[in-house]
Structure 1
Amino acid sequence: MAECADLLYVDKINVSFPMPGGRIEAVKSFSMRVRPGKVTALVGESGSGKSVLGRSIMGIESPVANVSGQVFFHDPEMAKTVDLLALPHDGRQIRHIRGSRIGMIFQEPMTSFSPVHTVGNQIEEVLTVHAVLSPKEKRARVEEMLGLVGFDNPSRVFDMYPFELSGGMRQRAMIAMALICKPALLIADEPTTALDVTIQAQILKLLMELQEKLGMAILLITHDLGVVASLADDVVVIYRGEVMESGPVEAIFQNPQHAYTKGLMAAVPHFEMDRGERLKPLREIKVDTAGLIERCSTKQAKGDVLLSVRNVSKSFQVKRSNGFFSKATAATLAVNDVSFDIMRGETLGLVGESGCGKTTLSKILMRGVTANHGAVTFNDGDGSIDVLNAQGQALQALRTKIQMVFQDPVSSLSPRMTVRGIVGEPLEIHGRGNRASRLDVVRRLIHSIGLPESAMGRYPHSFSGGQRQRIGIARALALGPDLVICDEPVSALDVSVQAQILNLMKDLKSELGLTYLFISHNLAVINYMADRVAVMYAGRIVEIAPCETIMRNPVHPYTKKLLAAVPMPNLDHPLDFDLIGQPSKAAKKLWARQFHDDGTPDNLTHVDLGGGHLVLARRNVDARELRA
C-alpha cells in the first residue's frame, strides 16, 4: 500500500494493446509518485508512453488496452487511499474521482471541446455531474473560474463557441473545465505544445498561480525540458514505457545519470550555444547528397540579393452574417508595409507570435495569396522575376525556384499517395526527365534525407512525425530550388526529432548551397538556424539584425518579450514571468514615447542602429537613445 505522504503512487503498471501478430507493450512495469502540492514532470519523446499512462490513471484508456498493476490515490477529502485500477471501469466511485478529484488537460483543446455547444455549457456539465447546484449557481461558478484563468469578460466567453477562441484562449477554457471542481490532482498532457512561446509562458504562469491558490498537485506530461526546468519539483524520465531516471529537478538537471536523459538535454537548442556548435539528437540522420549538388543554381555569388521584398501589405475583410444578410467589417491588416532582403546562401529567420502575419507573408511569396500592394523581386542570376505579377512561363519558372516546407507534416502529405508519388509529383508537373530519370531522382532524394529505399513504396501514415517532415523536405528539394521557405517546420515535433530535422536542414543547406526563409515562433530554434533575424509583430517587421545582435542586444520591447518567453533547460535561467507579463509603469511610459504608433501617417520608421540593425520606432527618436 502507498504511503499517505504520496497523493498518487503508481506501482508497476503495465499497459499493452493488441496488434496483428501479437501485443505491443506501451508501458512496462512503471512506478512513480506524485507528492501533494508539487509538480511532477513526466518527460520523454513522442511514443514513449506518457499519454497512455495519463489516460490509464484517469481510467479513460481504450477498452482494448490491457492494464495491470496498481495506482493508489490518497484523496485528502476522502481521507482514504483508493486503488484506481481496482475500481469498476465505469462505476460510480471512479466517476466521482474522475473530473472531480482528478482533472485532466488534453493536448489539443479544439478536439477536446464539442463544436456545437458553448464553452460555458461544456464547463457547466462537469458541475452537473459532480455537484448539486441551481442553474444560476452553476453559471456563477463557471464565470468565476473563467475569470480566474484570465478571461477579461467571463460572461461573454460563457456564451461563445470553441471555434470563436484562439488556441491560447481554448487552452485556458480547458484549464477552467479541469479545475472547476477544484481537484487535488491535475494531469496536464502536453498543455502548451500547440501554442507559441508567449502564450505558452502565459499558460505556465497561470498553472503556477492556480496550483498555489488551489493547493493542488500537477502531473505535467511533456517533452519540453525548458518547461520542466521552469515548473517542476520532481522529474520522471520515460523511454519506451520504462523509467530511465527519476528524482528532484535539481538532481536531474545538474547531475543526470542516465545516457537517455543526457541525450534529451543535448538535443535542445539554447542561447548559450556557440554559432558553430551542433545539436546532438538521440538518433543522427546520415545525409547523402551525392548526385544532387549539380542540380542547384550557382550563377549567383553568395551574399547577392536573391529575394527583395518592398512595402508589401495584405488586408482581409471578414463578413459577419445576420440571418439572410451579411455585413462586411473593417479590413484587418495581416501584413503591413513589410520590406526586407534575403541574400543567397543565408538563412533569414522570421519570428513572431501566432497571428502576427508570418504565414500570410510566406503565402504571398509563394503566390498562394495576392498582396494588396508592394513589390517582390526574385533574382537568381538568370534575370529578375516580378513575383507578384509573374504569368505564364515566368510563373512556371518561379515555381521551380521557390519551394516550401509546411508546418504540419501530417496534413501536408496526401494519405493516398506513396512516398515515391509524393516526392516525384513536382518532377512530373514540371516535365522533368522521363519516368526512369524521375525515379532515380526520387531515390537519391530519399537517400539524402536518411530514409531507406524501401520507404518509397510506403504511405505517409506508416511513418513517424519526424520522418514525414523529412519526406516534406525531400519534396521541396525535388526541383532543385534556390530558396526554401520553411513555415514552422519543427513546431509539431518533440525535442529529439526536432534536433534531427534542424541538423538535416543545416547539412542540406551546406551541401546544396540552399537559401532559407525560416519561420518560427521560437527564438532558440531561430538562434540555431539563422544568420539574420526579422522580428514580426502585428503585421510589421519591428526589428531586423544579424542573429547575434538580436539575441544579445535586442532593442524593441516585443523582441525582448519573445526572448524572455523561451523556456530554457537550465535551472539558473527560469522563465521571467514579470517581463512576459505586464511591464512596469516606467517601462510602459518609455516604450510609448519610443515605439508607440499613434495612427498618424509615417509616425513610425525603421531607425538604423548600424551593422544592419534596424528597429521600428517613432520618427522623432534618436538612434543613440535606442542604443542606450
Structure 2
Amino acid sequence: MKSGSDLLRIENLGISFSMLGGRLHVVKGANLRVLPGKVTALVGESGSGKSVISQSVMGILPNTAKATGKILFTDPLDGRTTDILQLPTDGEQIRALRGSRMAKIFQEPMTSLSPLHTVGNQISEVLAIHTESSKEERRARTEEMLDNVGFSNPSRTYDMYPFELSGGMRQRAMIAMALICRPALLIADEPTTALDVTIQAQILELLRELQHKLNMAMLLITHDLGVVANMADEVVVIYHGEIMEAGPVEAIFRNPQHAYLKGLMAAVPHFDMKPGERLKALREVPVKTDTLWAKKKEVANAPEILLSVRDLTKSYKTRKSGLFGRKHTTEVRAVDGVSFDIRRGECLGLVGESGSGKTTVSKILMRAVTPDSGSVTFDDGSGKINVLTAQGDDLMDLRTHIQMVFQDPVSSLSPRMTVQNILSEPLEIHGRGDRAYRLEKVRGLMQAIGLDQRFLNRYPHSFSGGQRQRIGIARALALGPQLLICDEPVSALDVSVQAQILNLLKDLQKQLGLTYLFISHNLAVVDYMADRIAVMWGGRIVELAPREVILRNPVHPYTRGLLAAVPFPDLDRPLDFTTLQASGASEQGEWAPQFRPDEAGDPLIPADLGDGHFVLARKNVDVRELRPW
C-alpha cells in the first residue's frame, strides 16, 4: 500500500533512551497505519511503548530519546507527505502541524489543563497560535466547540476554571481544545481510563460522533478491550515495544492468533463467567500464606454479621461570597441514610459513580471522617465494638481488625521508606514483637503477595504499579485484620495486572478467612469479586442484592443504566448509545415515578423484593409494580 493512501504511516520505528551504561530500547521496529476517517486502536500494557509512539508522532519526545525509522503524515488538505522525524523538534513546520493538523487528548485532564487559566482562555489560545482570527471570533468558535462537546451553557463554561468542572467535563474540555482547529488526526491517549462507566460511555459516543462529523482519523491508545471493540476499525497489539499482531477489528477479536493477545482477552473479567472460574492472568502471582497466619479459627457462636452500618449521614457545607461580601452557604449531603451489613467471610461490593458517596462511607468506617449521625458496630464474637466512639485501647484494637487498601499505590506509600520499613511500621506502632520477629513477619508478607525478599531494601518508585499495589495489600495484612476495605484497588491498573491483583485478593480471602468491602465503579470487576452488591447514587443505596440477582435482573433504573454503559470486549454486544441516553442513569427526573419522591414528600424506603433483594422506592408502592419480571 502506498503511504499516500494512509493519513499516518509508521515504518520501522525504533525509540531508545540514553541511560547510564548504554541505551534502553523501548520501541523496536514498529509498523502501523491510520487510514483517513478511521480509528486505529493501539493496545498493550503499561510500559509497552504506546504513549512513547504517540509522543514521537506529535514531535514531543524528551531530549534523552532518539527515534529512527519513518513517521509519514499525509495532510488531506494539500496531499503533501511529511516525515515527522526529519523535522526539527521545535521548528516552524512541526509547530504548524501540532495542534492544528494533529492533536492529542491526554490521559489525565487535571494535570493537562492549567489551573491558572479559564477553560475558554486555554482553548482559544490554540486558535490564537494557529489562526489569524480576532478575539471575538476566537470566543465564538470556542463556545461553538464547547457546545459540540456537550456543555449545556458554553458561554458560562468559557469563563470557568478546570477545578470547577467534574472529571468527565474536564475531559470534554480537553477534547474541545484538541478539536478546535479541526485536525485530520486525533491521538487519544487513554481518554477514558480515569472515568466512571457512564461518563466513559458518553465520552466514547462524543468521540465517535465528532469523528464522523469532522471526517477525522483517530489513533486510540488504550488497554481496555471493551473500548476497542466499540470504537476501532483496525487494531495493533504491542508488547515490550514490538508489534505482536495487527489487522481489522473483526479478524483480531474473532480469530486472535498471538498468545499475548489471547492472554489479554482471557484476563478481562466479564459477566458470563461461571461460578468459581478464575481470571487467567498473564503472569500468575504465587500466594503462600503458610508463614503468615493460620486460617482464622471459627469462634464458637460467632455472629453472622461482622460489621453492621445503620443510617449513616454526612453533610458538607460550601460557602460562596456574593455581591457586597454576602456569604451563601450550601449544604451537600454526601451520605444520606446509608444502612448495610457485611457478613463474616463474604465480599460486599459497593458500586456507583464518582460523587455517589462510596469513598466517604469507607472513610467513616475507618474513622477518617466523622458522620453527622448513624451507627457502625463491629462484632467478631469477642464483644461488640462501637466503631464511631471507640477510644484508647479499644480504638487501637479496632485498627488491627479493620484495614484499608487504597486506590493509588503511588500516593499511599511513602517514597522515603523502603518496603521493609513500610511493612514493619504497623507492627512497630502496635508493639508487635522485637526486631527479629518483625523482620520474619515482613518476609512472610512478601512471600504472601508473591514478591522476592531481595526487594525489601528497595523504595516504592522502583516497582511497577501492580507491584506497588501488592505492597499496599501486604501492609494492610500486616496486623492480621478480619475486614479489608478495598477502595478502587485496581482502577489504575492494566487489565493483565488487574487480573493478578483480583486473583491475589480472592486467594488471600480463601486462605486467611478475610471479609471484604470492595468499592469500585467497574461492574465486571465487582461481579468477579463480590457475593452481594450494593449500588449507590446521590449518597443513598438504591439497590442491594446477591451478585447473580442484581446483575441479571436489575430493578432500579440507575442500576440498569450502569449495566448498559459497560463496554464489552465482544463485537456482538456493542454499546447501545440510544438506549443509554434514554435510560438517563444519573438523571432522577428520567426515572419511573415509583423510584422518585412524590410532590407530597412521600419518603423513599428500601422495598423488600425477597431473597435479600432490596430497592429504594416510594413508601406506598406495591412491590409487584417494581419487579421487571
Give the TM bin, normalised by the shorter chain: over 0.9
Is residue 302–residue 343 contact of structure 1 (8 Å, CA) maintained in 2? no
1:293 aligns to what SS in structure 2?
A: coil
* Structure 1 residue 163, shift from structure 2 partner: 1.2
Say if 1:105 and 1:174, in contact at 8 Å, map to a contact too.
yes
Shift of 1:590: 8.5
- Distance in 2 separating the partners of 1:326 and 1:116: 25
Partners of 1:57 and 1:303 in 2: CA distance? 61
Partner of 2:224: 224
Deviations 1:181-223 (A, max 9, x none): 0001100000011111111111001000100111101100000
Paired residue type of 1:161: Y
CA distance in 1 between partners of 2:73 and 2:208 (Å): 22
Shift in Å, 1:295: 7.3
User: 1: distance between equivalents of 2:526 and 2:302?
Assistant: 21
Shift of 1:23: 1.1
Tell whether 2:494 aligns with 1:494: yes
User: Once the two structures are superposed, what CA deviation does each residue of 1:204-253 show, in whole Å capped at 9, x if it has no partner?
Assistant: 01000100111101100000000000110100000011100000001000
Deviation at 1:303, TM superposition (A): 7.5
Shift of 1:323: 9.9
Match of 1:244 in 2: 244
Decide whether the 8 Å contact of 1:300 with 1:380 is kept in 2.
no
Q: 1:506 to 1:93 in 2, by over 3 A?
A: same
Partner residue, 1:189: 189
Give the Cα–Cα distance (whole angstroms) in 2 for the partners of residues 381 and 616 of structure 1.
32
Q: What fraction of aligned residue pairs are identical, expressed as a percent?
A: 67
| Deviation of the 1:591 alpha carbon | 3.2
Q: Are 1:452 and 2:452 counterparts?
A: yes
Residues 261 and 301 of structure 1, relative CA distance in 2, 3 Å threshold: farther
Residue 320 of structure 1 deviates from its aligned partner by 2.3
1:291 aligns with 2:305: no
Tell me the equivalent position of 2:173.
173
CA RMSD, 1 decimal: 1.8
Partner deviation per Cα, 1:438-481 (whole Å, 9 max, x = no partner): 11111100110000001111100000000000000000000000
Residue 415 (str. 1) matches residue 415 (str. 2): yes
Q: Which amino acid aligns with 1:4?
A: G
Give 3-state SS (helix, strand or coil) of 1:411's partner.
helix
Q: Which residue of 1 aligns with 2:152?
A: 152
1:211 matched residue in structure 2: 211
What residue number does 1:253 align with? Answer: 253
Equivalent position of 2:551 in the other structure:
551
- Alpha-carbon distance in 2 for matches of 1:593, 1:307: 33
SS of the residue 1:368 aligns to: coil
Q: Distance in 2 between matches of 1:608 and 1:549?
A: 13
Match of 1:425 in 2: 425
Q: Does structure 2 conserve the Cα–Cα contact (< 8 Å) formed by 1:302 and 1:344?
A: no
Aligned to 2:36: 36
**CA distance in structure 1 between the partners assigned to 2:548 and 2:531 by the alignment:** 8
Query: What TM-score, normalized to structure 1?
Result: 0.97
For 2:229 and 2:590, the matched residues in 1 are separated by: 32
Question: Partners of 1:271 and 1:262 in 2: how far apart?
Answer: 18
Aligned to 1:518: 518
Task: Report Cα offsets for 1:265-310 as digits up to 9, x if no partner.
Answer: 0000000111211000110000000122337463267880000001
Q: Is structure 2 residue 264 aligned with structure 1 residue 264?
A: yes
Contact 1:168–1:195, Cα closer than 8 Å, also in 2: yes
- Look up the SS of the partner of 1:294 in the other structure: coil
Cα distance change of structure 1 residues 611 and 331 upon mapping to structure 2, 3 Å threshold: same
Which residue number corresponds to residue 316 of structure 2?
A: 316
Q: Which residue of 2 aligns with 1:508?
A: 508
What is the match of residue 3 of structure 1?
3
Following the alignment from structure 1 to structure 2, what is the Cα–Cα distance between the partners of residues 621 and 253?
46
User: Letter of the aligned partner of 2:512 in structure 1?
Assistant: L
Q: Are the aligned partners of 2:58 and 2:98 in contact in 1 as well (CA < 8 Å)? A: yes
Larger mean Cα displacement after TM superposition, 295-304 or 421-430? 295-304
Give structure 1 stretches of 5+ with no counterpart: none
| Maintained 8 Å contact 1:285/1:500 | yes
State how far apart, in whole Å, the 1-side matches of 2:130 and 2:319 are. 41
- For this pair of structures, how many residues does the alignment match? 627
Structure-2 residue corresponding to 1:443 = 443
**C-alpha separation in 2, matches of 1:314 and 1:106:** 35
Confirm or deny: 8 A CA contact 1:417 1:459 kept in the other structure: yes
Residue 625 of structure 1: CA displacement? 1.5
Q: Is the 8 A contact 2:557 2:583 kept in 1?
A: no
SS of the aligned residue for 1:362 comes to helix
- SS of corresponding position for 2:354: coil
Deviations 1:419-451 (A, max 9, x none): 111111111111111111111111100110000
Matched, 1:344 2:344: yes
Letter in 1 for 2:593: R
Distance of aligned partners of 1:27 and 1:599 in 2 relative to their CA distance in 1, 3 Å threshold = farther
User: Is the contact between residue 583 and residue 590 of structure 2 (CA under 8 Å) also seen in structure 1?
Assistant: no
Letter matched to residue 253 of structure 1: F
Name the structure 2 match of 1:620. Answer: 620
Equivalent residue for 1:577?
577
Letter in 2 for 1:74: T
Report the counterpart of residue 235 of structure 2 in structure 1.
235
Counterpart of 2:57? 57
Q: Residues 162 and 301 (structure 1 numbering): CA distance in 2 closer, same or farther, change over 3 Å?
A: farther
List 4+ stretches of structure 1 deviating above 6 A: 300-303, 587-590
Letter in 2 for 1:298: E
- Is the Cα contact below 8 Å between 2:303 and 2:379 reproduced in 1? no
Partner residue in 2 for 1:115: 115
Counterpart AA for 2:516: Y
Contact 2:295/2:513 (8 A) holds in 1: no
Q: When the two structures are superposed, what TM-score results if normalisation uses the length of structure 2?
A: 0.97
Unaligned runs of 5+ in 2: none
Residue identity matched to 2:617: A
Instruction: Determine the structure 2 residue equivalent to 1:475.
Output: 475
1:608 aligned partner: 608
Q: Equivalents in 2 of 1:510, 1:235: separation in Å? A: 38
Q: CA deviation at 1:159?
A: 0.7
Q: CA deviation at 1:90?
A: 1.4
Secondary structure class of the residue paired with 1:468: helix
| Structure 1 residue 359, shift from structure 2 partner | 0.2
